[in-house]
């Protein structure tokens, strides 16, 4: 045990990011960046303390239908978050565009334009895109125009490799959702002692991506996301960034556990050799085949897109009231 909080120790090893639309709650944790998604913005929009913000956006855009108004709500929350964090905010493109490259590019440019109309430098914005083949193709084009992307709903090395090849600024591998899938699959044979901690399948997935990127000199930043507990977070200390919910940030702030670096670029080459992982050369057909052959990644990607679509439609319905 130590007198320094686990959160403070973690910040010396990893850039800590707040994963929430509840910007008032994130102040106490002093994160560098923040991430949002349709589900988080929907949740925040329903809270009484954000009703005035939502109402002000509707008042300022009386001619906008709910489907168009969503973008203005996302940016309104992003603008408030940028008053709190010194770094970047991630804002997500409509998940219903996940299989349409051109529409994704157009939506990303629209969101950047809204931020820039408020005087925000585009360097402070990460546009979140689903790591589908079409989303990755959109990211490649957007990055070439100076619009930085956060590739989300990422569950596999093949997705990560394709994002790296597209020069995406950042990827968000979803730790907890990977673990959820294996817990469900293993059912009664899941054992926290054997399948948790350093053996947690979600943790192992991020470690594999980290070692792959560092060994092959890929500049794309890695930000572990979607955590279920603080153990998963601490097992990834040393990752480029970790985006963490306010609930888990509070647990880390209250904890006095000693935090040690678990991920180190100097271990990358040996780790890849031990797992016999070679550099992936991907075109569209090989990407689709390898992703298809990974049942967990295929199922969780599809489920994630479906759920974000549902929550975007719920947000539209909320704005229509």
Residue 63 makes CB contacts below 8 A (sequence gap 6+) with none
Q: What is the CATH number of the domain that holds 267?
A: 3.20.20.70
CA quadruple 15, 16, 21, 22: dihedral positive or negative?
A: negative
CB 201 within 8 A of CB 195: yes
Task: Enter the tokens of residue 130.
Answer: 């689903």
Which of 173, 167, 161, 172 minimizes the C-alpha distance to 282?
161
Confidence of residue 321 (pLDDT cuts 50, 70, 90): confident
Confidence of residue 2 (pLDDT cuts 50, 70, 90): confident
Which phi and psi angles does 21 have, rounded to 5°? Answer: -100, -5
Q: What span, in angstroms and rounded, lies between the C-alpha atoms of 147 and 246?
A: 28
Judge whether 265 lies within some domain.
yes
Judge whether 195 lies within some domain.
yes
pLDDT exceeding 70 applies to what percent of the chain?
100
- What is the per-residue pLDDT across 281-319, written as a single tens digit (0 to 9) for each? 999 999 999 999 999 999 999 999 999 999 999 999 999
- What is the per-residue pLDDT across 173-208, written as a single tens digit (0 to 9) for each? 999 999 999 999 999 999 999 999 999 999 999 999
Tell me the three state secondary structure of residue 92: strand
Task: Enter the tokens of residue 69.
Answer: 């108004």
- What is the per-residue pLDDT across 210-259, written as a single tens digit (0 to 9) for each? 999 999 999 999 999 999 999 999 999 999 999 999 999 999 999 999 99
Judge whether 167 lies within some domain.
yes
DSSP class of 235: T
Q: Are strands 33-35 and 149-154 parallel, antiparallel or unpaired?
A: unpaired
Judge whether 1 lies within some domain.
no
Q: Which residues of 179-202 are buried (b: 16+ CB within 10 A; e: fewer)?
A: bbbbbeeeeeeeeeeeebeeebbb
Cα 131 off chain centre by: 11
Q: What span, in angstroms and rounded, lies between the C-alpha atoms of 150 and 130?
A: 9
Which of 281, 263, 276, 283 minimizes the C-alpha distance to 214?
263
Tell me the three state secondary structure of residue 130: strand
Average pLDDT, the chain: 96
Length of the chain: 321
Mean pLDDT of the 112-135 span: 98
pLDDT exceeds 90 at position 65: yes
Q: What span, in angstroms and rounded, lies between the C-alpha atoms of 240 and 263?
A: 9
Structural domain boundaries enclosing 58? 6-320
Confidence of residue 132 (pLDDT cuts 50, 70, 90): very high
Mean pLDDT of the 93-102 span: 98
Task: Enter the tokens of residue 244.
Answer: 């963490």
Q: What span, in angstroms and rounded, lies between the C-alpha atoms of 228 and 180?
A: 9
pLDDT exceeds 80 at position 1: no
Q: Are strands 221-224 and 241-244 parallel, antiparallel or unpaired?
A: parallel
Task: Enter the tokens of residue 178.
Answer: 């990977």
Q: What is the pLDDT of residue 3?
A: 84
Respond yes or no: is residue 128 known to be catalytic.
yes
Q: Annotated catalytic residue: which of 128, 169, 214, 262? A: 128
Confidence of residue 74 (pLDDT cuts 50, 70, 90): very high
The total of structural domains in the chain comes to 1
Residue whose tokens read 């500049």: 219
Judge whether 16 lies within some domain.
yes
């Amino acid at each position: 045990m130590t007198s320094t909080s686990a959160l403070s120790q973690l910040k010396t090893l990893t850039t800590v990011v707040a994963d929430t639309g509840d910007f008032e709650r994130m102040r106490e944790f002093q994160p560098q960046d923040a991430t949002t998604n349709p589900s988080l913005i929907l949740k925040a929009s329903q809270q009484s303390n954000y009703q005035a913000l939502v109402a002000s956006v509707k008042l300022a855009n009386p001619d906008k239908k709910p489907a168009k108004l969503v973008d203005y709500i996302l940016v309104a929350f992003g603008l408030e978050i940028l008053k709190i964090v010194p770094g970047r905010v991630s804002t997500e493109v409509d998940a219903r565009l996940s299989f349409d490259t051109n529409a994704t590019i157009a939506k990303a440019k629209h969101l950047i334009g809204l931020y820039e109309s408020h005087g925000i430098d585009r360097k402070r914005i990460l546009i979140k895109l689903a790591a589908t083949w079409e989303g990755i193709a959109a990211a490649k084009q957007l990055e070439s125009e100076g619009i930085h992307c956060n590739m989300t709903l990422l569950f596999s090395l093949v997705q990560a490799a394709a994002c790296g090849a597209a020069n995406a600024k950042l990827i968000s591998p979803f730790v907890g959702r990977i673990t959820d899938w294996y817990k469900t699959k293993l059912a009664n044979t899941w054992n926290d002692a054997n399948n948790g901690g350093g053996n947690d399948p979600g943790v192992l997935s991020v470690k594999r991506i980290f070692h792959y990127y560092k060994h092959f000199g890929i500049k794309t930043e890695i930000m572990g996301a979607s955590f279920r507990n603080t153990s998963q977070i601490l097992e990834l200390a040393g990752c480029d960034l970790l985006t963490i919910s306010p609930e888990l940030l509070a647990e880390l702030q209250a904890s006095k556990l000693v935090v040690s670096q678990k991920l180190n670029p100097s271990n990358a080459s040996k780790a890849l050799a031990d797992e016999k992982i070679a550099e992936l050369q991907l075109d569209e057909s090989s990407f689709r085949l390898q992703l298809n052959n990974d049942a967990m990644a295929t199922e969780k990607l599809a489920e994630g897109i479906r759920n974000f679509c549902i929550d975007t439609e719920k947000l539209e319905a909320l704005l229509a009231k």
